[in-house]
Amino acid sequence: MALDCAAAIVKVGVLLFLKMLLLPLLLGIWLDASTLSLFGSSVNERILYAGKDLFGSILLHWVAGITFMLIVTVSVLQLREVTHPDLLASIIRPQEPQPDLLGNLLQESGTTHAKRMVLSLCIYAALLSIHVWLPARLLVALGIGRHLPFFRPKFWFLFLPQLQVPVELLVFHLSMLAFLEKYKNHIGEMQHYWLVFICRWMGLTDHVLPQEVEKFELVGIRPVFIKDSIDEPPPLVNGDVDDIDNAASAFSTEKESEKIVDLSPIRKLSWRQKPTYSVDPFWRKLISMKNEPTDEFIMANIHMVPSVEPALYKVGTTKRSGKRVLDSSKSFIKLPTGPYTVDGPVPPPPFIDCASSSDNSASSSNLDPNLLPTTIGAFRLKRRVKNKRKMGAERSPSAVSDSYIIEFWREVTGKQISRPPEGWDDLGVGGAEIQGRWSWGNERKSEIEQSVAQRTTFLKARNGRSYQSLMGSMLLMLKMMLLVTLSWLATMIIACAALSGPLFVGRFIFFLLRVPDSYVHDSLGFVIGGGILFPMIGKVAQALGGGPRVESPSLGRSILNWAAAFRRPGSFGKICVLAQATILWFVVSPLLLGLLYDLCLVKSRDWFAGKEALIDITSFFLSWGTGSLFLNLWAALCYVGAFTKEFWAAIGVGIGGANVLNNQNDLAGADVAGRENAVNDARNAGAGIVPGEQNRHVMKWQGENGHIARSFEIFWAALRNWEWDKVDGVTLLKECTIPIARQLSIALLSPLLAYVGFLALYRVVSGGRDAVGIVLPIVGFVEKGVYQMFLFRSFAFTVLAIQLAVAFQYPLQKWFQAAHKAARDDRYLVGEILMNYASGREQ
């Protein structure tokens, strides 16, 4: 027993080491080797770095490998759900819950694990070669790699690199896990959007993407019996009699009678000549082609509808399972087992249709080879009885010859099905039937999968056998090769943009902030750039296209429609209000904020000493850019309500990791209770500030109902939809842009005026002498530029502190009252019996 436990422990440890440590490490090393030339590095440099920091090198390659595995796995699983289920659903195994992971590892043999690991390694290696090694060679050959910032990284180590690198890699790995878990469906949406666009352009939608069944079109007929097959096919529209009342069938159970149609029983009537009805061999052949393509075989062997006649369509109906069928459609048609001789003036109905209580057609057809399914590929079959007698003639053996025909209705595809479905990757809700993903193996199909139209195959079929017709399929093969090439190129472009785009934005922000190049850290720049770039791209894509789930015009068509919808405003005052708000928001306020930042954090002591130009055009525009960055960043944070407790509770920052909704309710209740207590305390103390009013004053900028959000909605309505009547001067000017510009003017001009006044006073006191510095106690001699810079920044920080104190006077007052109350309670011993010592002495 102890030996078995030890063997199980060793087996689990070896498997975890191979799958979770060795495989990602190997992939990371291969990734590094594939991109060495792209990073402008060499093997010797990598060896030297490993010798200097072995743990950091191993961890770096492991994180790179595991990240590659995660991205590949998520992308492949998303692609499985985006394409038609006939393409990848039976090849790629979906993600399944593993409640007993260790048990599964122990139950399966070592050979099985080895085969899976080798297969996974081969798949990852192939994808790495296609999507990493080959693009790296292409970028190096074209000289594009040296212009992408991701391949020319810059790092600044705040402390020991052997400690900082592992910490950053750990944070990156955890962040990547959270990012993929939350936004992995967006990868599938991007794949869906791309495939919809490119397949529509190349005419491959019916081959690649899942589509709904809009209706059914009658394409042809085929008689059931050989005798009828030599007669002229009857007309399709007039004279059809669907008569099954006289049909008779024998079934073993009542359940079978509801599922199977029996063709065999025929009434024996007296005829002068006894014709023999034999089933057409076409139907036996069609039944036998269960796992072979049948569409081409059907189209080649049925009597097609004449092109001169108008097309016949039926909308059909949808079963509870989601499958699209014809109205009153049955599941099977049971053919007779042999030829029959018919007596009597009227031949009986040779078969009847019967509805199936289930969709398990495969098992039923396997039990009886005479069962003909009414759903075969893209076709729906329906029985029809055609009477050939002349109008007004009596039924007689010589005048009646009933023809039994089966109609073939083909699917007419409709719009594309939006993929992937919402919540398809939730492993805790059930299988494919509930999740909406494509089924795997013997899983029960979901309603979405049941409703998918039949895909048009890439290879043609003739006589029931698939083969590649060189001349007929050449154009299709060229299209598929072009689709694969363009998809590979799009993947490479998106990968380069996702890696280098945030770094471009992050380095540009460092440039606006005037951070020295030696202090630029690309890890921080990537986070800042990604936090700005990705939400902007999402908002722009949503505004222009409505996302991949919405049918919308192209970008060029949207711009033309926007320009064509322009209409002049009703009054000139609307234009003036909008122009004033635009100038205040995009010119004045950013310039004031940027100049304040420049004077407080950028200008050197030489500038304050007068050794540099007072006004520099480059610095002026950089100040405006910095102010625009800070102003719009603050506005975005106000728009989402980032300065409220509810915002942080909504994203899961709860106390002790409790439930988010409970946290929100607790925070709301605590806020209401705290506000009521504050009101009571203020009333008892006779305070002049009403807490409710002050709280509304603080919160008026936050959230979707704040001044920022309402002003943005006005800008958007006026400039995007030309809704000039929504322009409101009170909201745009008095409540938003003018207060912001006024506060920024106070923050810049107040310390500037105080600084200039102090220097003028000092010049008067010193008799107009321009000293190179001053002597201070303890400090000693201080240069002119240093003390003037310190003087201005002291004034500036003092003014900012006063402005913040005024803006947050209510929270500060609450904190002061709480501290005062705690000190008072501690001083006077609340809860104890107090004695008036003065009164006691007098007595």
Residue ending a domain, choose from 386, 416, 446: 416
Check whether residue 198 and residue 216 sit in a common domain. no
In a domain, 798, yes or no: yes
pLDDT for position 772: 63
**Helix 589-597 vs helix 738-765: angle between axes, to the nearest 10 degrees?**
40
DSSP state of 234: P
**pLDDT band for position 717 (50/70/90)?**
confident
Check whether residue 514 and residue 580 sit in a common domain. no
Check whether residue 528 and residue 595 sit in a common domain. no
In a domain, 675, yes or no: no
Check whether residue 514 and residue 615 sit in a common domain. no
In a domain, 428, yes or no: no
Check whether residue 241 and residue 359 sit in a common domain. yes
Neighbour-count burial for 85-107, b at 16+ CB within 10 Å, e otherwise:
bebbbeeeebeeeeeeeeeebee
Check whether residue 149 and residue 239 sit in a common domain. no
Check whether residue 168 and residue 239 sit in a common domain. no
pLDDT tens-digit map of 656-688: 444 444 444 444 444 545 555 544 554 444 444
Task: Give the tokens for residue 285.
Answer: 């052949």
> pTM here?
0.77
In a domain, 275, yes or no: yes
In a domain, 318, yes or no: yes
pLDDT for position 520: 93
pLDDT for position 819: 84
Check whether residue 133 and residue 153 sit in a common domain. yes
As for how many domains the chain has, the answer is: 3
Check whether residue 582 and residue 534 sit in a common domain. no
Among the listed residues 107, 80, 101, the one whose alpha carbon sits nearest the alpha carbon of residue 91: 80
Region 757-784: what's the mean pLDDT?
A: 74
Cα–Cα distance measured from residue 609 to residue 81, given in angstroms and rounded to the nearest whole number = 67
Residue 463 pLDDT more than 90?
Answer: no
Check whether residue 529 and residue 399 sit in a common domain. no
In a domain, 85, yes or no: yes
Assess contact for 409 and 216: CB atoms under 8 A: yes
Q: Which domain holds residue 7?
A: 2-98+108-204+485-555
Assess contact for 85 and 443: CB atoms under 8 A: no
H helices present in 546-597, as ranges = 555-564, 572-583, 589-597
Non-local CB neighbours of 385 within 8 Å, separated by 6+ positions? 240, 241, 242, 243, 244, 349, 402, 403, 404, 405
Residue 619 pLDDT more than 70?
Answer: yes
In a domain, 134, yes or no: yes
Mean pLDDT of the chain: 77
In a domain, 27, yes or no: yes
**pLDDT band for position 130 (50/70/90)?**
very high
Check whether residue 288 and residue 324 sit in a common domain. yes
pLDDT for position 627: 94
SS3 341: strand
Cα–Cα distance measured from residue 577 to residue 569, given in angstroms and rounded to the nearest whole number = 12
Assess contact for 355 and 331: CB atoms under 8 A: yes
Residue ending a domain, choose from 416, 442, 457: 416
Q: State the Cα torsion 448-451-456-460 to the nearest 10°.
A: 110
Residue ending a domain, choose from 497, 532, 555: 555
**pLDDT band for position 95 (50/70/90)?**
confident
Check whether residue 263 and residue 197 sit in a common domain. no
pLDDT tens-digit map of 743-764: 999 999 999 999 999 888 888 8
